[in-house]
Amino acid sequence: MEKKSIDWANLGFGYVQTDKRYVANYKDGAWDAGTLTEDATITMSECAGVLQYAQTIFEGMKAYTTEDGRTVVFRPELNAQRMVDSALRMEMPPFPVERFLDAIEQVVRANYAYVPPYGSGASLYLRPFMFGSGPVIGVKPSTEYQFRVFSTPVGPYFKGGAKPLTIRVSDFDRAAPNGTGHIKAGLNYAMSLHAIVTAHDEGFDENLYLDAGTHTKVEETGGANFLFVTKDGTIVTPKSGSILPSITRRSLMYVAKEYLGLKTEEREVMMDEVSEFAECGLCGTAAVISPVGKIVDHGKEICFPSGMTEMGPITKKLYDTLTGIQLGRLEAPEGWIREIKIK
Ligand code: PLP
Ligand code: COI
């Protein structure tokens, strides 16, 4: 199959409609067989659970072309499991892990022409999601659901690629203690929209959210976890029950320890200690590792020694190692790379 003629190197993080998507429906207590469809639209009840009470969850993952021309996805079973966890918290019927993996495979294969070539810096972003499609007017879970996976070729999440970001400490909260911050529910993102729009209006790239309970501890941004590097080269990441357990962050902590021989700590990070770190990065599927150069905390600027022009040296090593694994330049830990055979 020929690749599409797309200016891969200049893609941003946007929606490009691709040829096929996977759809399965849940009704009368069971998921149907599921199928690929060319129809990129959805028709449902005006009273659907997703439309009335935001009963929707999603995942985000990427397919890549490796140096030797294989098409691969990165640790998809972790996305499948996280979606099960999200579904249970939202009173939705989990989509089975094996079926999730099969759906991903079908979508990548059907849209092979849109998987960006090796070296382009782009990837095929996969968006599995599930929503309450049946009518509900009392506040309760829907009895009908749709699971869907579409794909779209993407470039860097942040404009400017690897240029260090400037972020602000937000006065808005992202997630409550004992709320839904640890799952990938659409509602977490709906409530961050005002914060991101106002951050952009004020010239910031993103928000740093503090813990909602005390406003003293670093949580995460709207779409990525934090990694900090201490002056003596230890990788520190915030531990909290109300942040998303990022697959990229979990992978980077492993890479830091096992590939780079660095010390790693997952612990509470006080906002007060952030000015002592040497480097800061945002990590996630979309963000990969995006360096942060400056954090503005109510007018007080925290400027990391790594500066505003390049990634810090340890952030760069983490970035090169992770992308090296994803693109097949470095040997991956057992089970991290799932090849999708294109027939
Ligand atoms: N935190 C939030 C709020 C996110 O939306 C994401 C994106 O998925 C992440 C962190 C990063 O998670 P992952 O590395 O699994 O993509
Ligand atoms: C991802 O990294 O896949 C996400 O879902 C983050 C989103 C804000 C684009």
Element (H, E) at 212: none
Q: Which of 154, 178, 199 is the last residue of a domain?
A: 154
Q: What is the number of the ligand 1 atom nearest to the C-alpha of 59?
A: 8
Q: Tell whether the model's pLDDT for residue 282 goes beyond 90.
A: yes
Does residue 336 fall inside a structural domain? Answer: no
Q: What is the number of the ligand 2 atom nearest to the C-alpha of 189?
A: 8
147 and 179 belong to one structural domain: no
Which residue's CA is minimally distant from atom 2 of ligand 1? 223
The CB density around residue 220, as the number of other CB atoms within 10 Å, is: 26
**Tens-place pLDDT, residues 185-236:** 999 999 999 999 999 999 999 999 999 999 999 999 999 999 999 999 999 9
102 and 233 belong to one structural domain: no
Q: Rounded to the nearest whole angstrom, what is the distance from the C-alpha of residue 297 to the centroid of ligand 1? A: 23
Q: How confident is the model at residue 343 (pLDDT cuts 50, 70, 90)?
A: confident
β-pairing, 288-297 vs 165-169, is: parallel
**Tens-place pLDDT, residues 47-91:** 999 999 999 999 999 999 999 999 999 999 999 999 999 999 999
Which residue's CA is minimally distant from atom 5 of ligand 2? 60
How many domains, in total, are found in the chain?
A: 2
Q: What is the number of the ligand 1 atom nearest to the C-alpha of 244?
A: 1
Average pLDDT score over residue span 130-153: 98
| 234: its two tokens | 């230890």
| DSSP line for 114-154 | GSPPTTSS-EEEEEEEEEE-SB--SSS--S-EEEEEEEEEE
**Tens-place pLDDT, residues 28-48:** 999 999 999 999 999 999 999
Which residue's CA is minimally distant from atom 7 of ligand 2? 223
Element (H, E) at 255: helix 247-258
Provide the whole-model pTM.
0.97
**Tens-place pLDDT, residues 163-174:** 999 999 999 999
169 and 318 belong to one structural domain: yes
| 260: its two tokens | 């780079």
218 and 319 belong to one structural domain: yes
> Residues, the chain, total?
343
272 and 128 belong to one structural domain: no
Q: Is 128 in the pocket of ligand 2 (CB under 6 A)?
A: no
d(CA 242, CA 90): 15
- Domain range for 117 is 8-154
14 and 138 belong to one structural domain: yes
253 and 229 belong to one structural domain: yes
d(CA 113, CA 125): 13
Tell me, what CATH number does 16's domain have?
A: 3.30.470.10
Residue 21 phi, psi dihedral angles, 5° rounding? -135, 160
Does residue 224 fall inside a structural domain? Answer: yes
